[in-house]
Structure 1
Amino acid sequence: MPVKVPSSLPASAILRGENIFVMSDARAESQNIRPLKVLILNLMPNKIETETQLLRLLGNSPLQVDVELLRIHNRPSKHTPCDHMNAFYRDFEEVRNNNYDGLIITGAPLGDLEFEQVQYWSEIQAIIDWSQHHATSVLFLCWAAHAAFYHLYGIKRYLREEKISGVFQHQRVHEHVPLLRGFDDDFWVPHSRYAQVSLDKLKAHPQLNVLAESDQAGAYLVVSNNNRNLFVTGHPEYTRTTLLDEYRRDLASGLTPRVPDNYFPEDDPTRVPHARWHAHGALLVSNWLNYYVYQQTPFDLSDMSGMTPWE
């Protein structure tokens, strides 16, 4: 949340120089407050697990958030009861004419497919295009981030020789960026994917800014110049056991997966995994809601042209 201080206070200029949001008396008196409307397009097979992970992070904010759930199609889900889908999820045609403060598009287990081979690729493209005019800020997670890099900016991903799975150390590329407010210089993030987008290509693109990266995992946080699109290539929403569940699932299916890196004490998969990313994940989503949604979104969502960039 912003800090309200007199405009003439010396600290005000210092904090603004560090991109910390401070609010003048005049702006505070004229500010209208309402619940934020956030839409989640859930592409993961186990809808309930992913819902819970994301809602846990969204709930770690003093802002009131009204959440709606969106599905990409209405065909029966193999991993989620039909009653749950019909009761809680909406189809795109039901929300097409709505505006939202924020949109989250999750990852999907489609890492080895070309985007054009994805059964619902045309629907994904349509929703990404729609989001650029109907959501104040869009948070793309993992596969969705790669899909958006490709669709919006023409940046292709490539398949790694071996799946990257584990928890990896990352570094901030920029210090005084609102999204990274409160981050340590180094922090840890889970990754689980076969695909990668070239860090050099992302850094060279004139419409994108890389905010955080990893020697092992590459670019992690990337934001568009207009601050509308935030790309997160890892999984800050994962719980302590998510990578463990994936590892056991791969073993059960006859694969020979590597033990996830930096996850089990002494790399022993019989021991309880070490979770060291929960604080970072909560802070990341809280900063996104505050600086890239709440501080930018118009009070009247019917007028997206009323958005003003954060200072």
Structure 2
Amino acid sequence: MPINIPRNLPAGEILRQEKIFIMEEDRAKTQQIRPLNILVCNLMPEKEKTEIQLLRLLGNTPLQTNVTFLNTATYASKNVSKSHLDSFYKTFDEIRHRRFDGMIITGAPVERMEFEDVLYWEEITKIMDWAKVNVTSNMYICWGAQAALYHHFGIGKFELPKKCSGIYSHVITDLTVDLVRGFSDEYVAPHSRHTSVSFEEVRNHSDLELLSYSEDVGPFIIQSKDSRHIMITGHLEYDATTLADEYHRDVEKGEPVEVPAHYFPNDDPSQMPKNTWRAHSHLLFYNWLNYYVYQETPFDWHYVDENIEYHI
């Protein structure tokens, strides 16, 4: 089934070339089907690249999916045009009256800051609180995962001695959990961050379950016991060249960065890296959409008790 996107979204043409089955919203309205409604709060600076990465994964399932992009009202991104945001993004005030089957909050380049010092922190916490009763399942990526762990579960982050960047091996703690169904016993995934969270705090929290981790870089896939919150501390959505782009950008800025670990062939930044995590990226999003969103969301939100609706 297709993924439904806003008319004329630039990512659409790239996805068509990749043979991703997409459908613009005008045609989707003629379909006699109950699609999943997914909200994507895109906090990444290069929003169009992130749109492509996430839409590619959301569009590779049998489920018809409507995607709404959300932008912060308290901070205007400097790396995307205002016309792009005005055309394809909503603010929280524009969607707060709606209910969604799933929500994704992406990473953000603010991880070295205290949460409360982030300009849009209050807005993000309002969105996360609203989502408790207006979204069936929530996925948080990288900084988004750290923000959710802090806000919902009281687990803070700490700064690493050096940036964690590269492709790392991970293991699964329980292969019977639906989110990691079909995963290999050991698999690789990208990380790109300056901060991390404590193994002990995650493992010892009564409301959390650690599903996957790396001996080298710590907790990776964490879910709440009620399965409403999925925290991914890395970037399974990344393209093959994303870490390379970040590395060359930082080198040009004169930042003291190391070559991403286990990434470039022969650790040579002049060589083209390969995507060795693609299959598990698709599997993670497939499992999330199927088991945590489609299987759990109400067919008709109107039958949900209106007395529990979140109000600001």
- Larger deviation: 191-200 or 32-41? 32-41
4+ runs of 1 displaced by more than 4 Å?
A: none
Q: What is the alpha-carbon root mean square deviation over aligned residues?
A: 1.6
Report the number of matched residues: 276
1:180–1:75 Cα change, 3 Å: closer
Post-superposition offset of 1:305: 5.6
5+ residue gaps, structure 1, are 2-31, 307-311
Amino acid at match of 1:72: T
Looking at structure 2, the residues matched to 229 and 286 of structure 1 have their Cα atoms a distance apart, in angstroms, of 16
Residues 101 and 301 of structure 1 are in contact (CA less than 8 Å); yes or no, is this contact kept in structure 2?
Answer: no
Equivalent runs, 1:165-244 vs 2, <5 Å:
165-244=165-244
Counterpart for residue 255 of structure 2: 255
**What is the CA distance between 1:304 and its match in structure 2?**
4.2
Stretch of structure 1 that moved more, 212-221 or 66-75: 66-75
Instruction: State the Cα distance separating 1:33 from its structure 2 match.
Output: 6.0
Give the corresponding residue for 1:145.
Answer: 145
Distance 1:207 1:304, change over 3 A: farther
Higher gyration radius (CA): 1
1:88 paired to 2:88: yes
Query: Which residue of structure 2 aligns with residue 98 of structure 1?
Result: 98
Deviations 1:27-66 (A, max 9, x none): xxxxx96210000000011111111110000011010000
- What is the SS of the residue equivalent to 1:140? strand
Q: Is the 8 A contact 2:74 2:120 kept in 1?
A: no
Residues in 2 aligned to 1:135 and 1:205: alpha-carbon distance in whole angstroms: 23
CA contact (8 A) 1:58 1:285 kept: yes
Normalised by the length of structure 2, the TM-score is 0.86
Distance (whole Å) between structure 2 residues aligned to residue 140 and residue 99 of structure 1: 18
Instruction: Give the TM-score of the pair, scaled to structure 1.
Output: 0.86
Alignment of 1:53-64 (within 5 A): 53-64=53-64
SS for the counterpart of 2:192 is: strand
SS of structure 2 residue aligned to 1:211? strand
Question: Does structure 1 conserve the Cα–Cα contact (< 8 Å) formed by 2:45 and 2:77?
Answer: yes
The 5 A counterparts of 1:1-311 are 34-73=34-73, 76-304=76-304
Give structure 2 stretches of 5+ with no counterpart: 2-31, 307-312
Given that 1:136 and 1:304 are in contact with CA atoms closer than 8 Å, whether structure 2 keeps it comes out as: no
Aligned to 1:219, what secondary structure does the other structure show? strand
